[in-house]
Structure 1
Amino acid sequence: MAIEVSDSAREWIKRKGGVATVRLSPRHGCCGGGADIAVAEARPPDDPACYTGVEFEGLSLYLDPTLVGQGLRVDVAGFLGMGHLFVEGVSPTRS
């Protein structure tokens, strides 16, 4: 598989509609530095044609092509129904 999804994240995504997007999000430092961080959202991307689509155990995942094969893992954190997805692993910087 192009990315690992924990059992708890898989169930959480299914409850939210069964679709998730894993993309790079730019983060900027105060002195001009920056990095792209992998983030996961329980929604389809704005432009699915720009993503690699993966069907996995009842989920539709959309992955930024630069994240495919990067050894990332999607999990969920939170309690009392107030969860959020997060991505573990190394986030590459776009070339």
Structure 2
Amino acid sequence: MEINITVEAEQYIRQNGQSATVMLGTMTGCCGGAAPLPQIHLVLPNDLSDYEQNKVKDITIFIDKRVDTNKQIHITLAKLLWLKKLSVELV
């Protein structure tokens, strides 16, 4: 599994605790369908046994074990005026 983090995202994670968690949430539709949706949060997982711990430089990234290990993980920082938010994409 390859993890790519932009410089801006690295700095943001360092300023907010040195770690982030990538998890699979669920996106539901109006017709009863559901699809997994990757999410990233600046919190430690409640149950570490469900996550794989990865070090990228001095940052710890916890990856949900349900994430496909054949995919690359891209972590970026989205900005709108003074608001900042991490974004994750599985490629």
User: TM-score by structure 2 length?
Assistant: 0.87
Amino acid at match of 2:63: L
Show structure 2 runs of 5+ residues with no match: none
User: What is residue 61 of structure 2 aligned with on the other side?
Assistant: 61
Alpha-carbon distance between aligned partners in 1 of 2:9 and 2:63, rounded to the nearest angstrom: 16
| RMSD after superposition | 1.6
Secondary structure at the aligned position of 1:83 is classed as strand
Of 39-48 and 10-19, deviating more is 39-48
User: What is residue 7 of structure 2 aligned with on the other side?
Assistant: 7
Q: Which has the higher strand share?
A: 2
Q: Give the deviation of 1:70 after TM superposition.
A: 1.0
Show structure 1 runs of 5+ residues with no match: 91-95
User: TM-score by structure 1 length?
Assistant: 0.84
Runs of 4+ in 1 over 3 A off after TM superposition: none
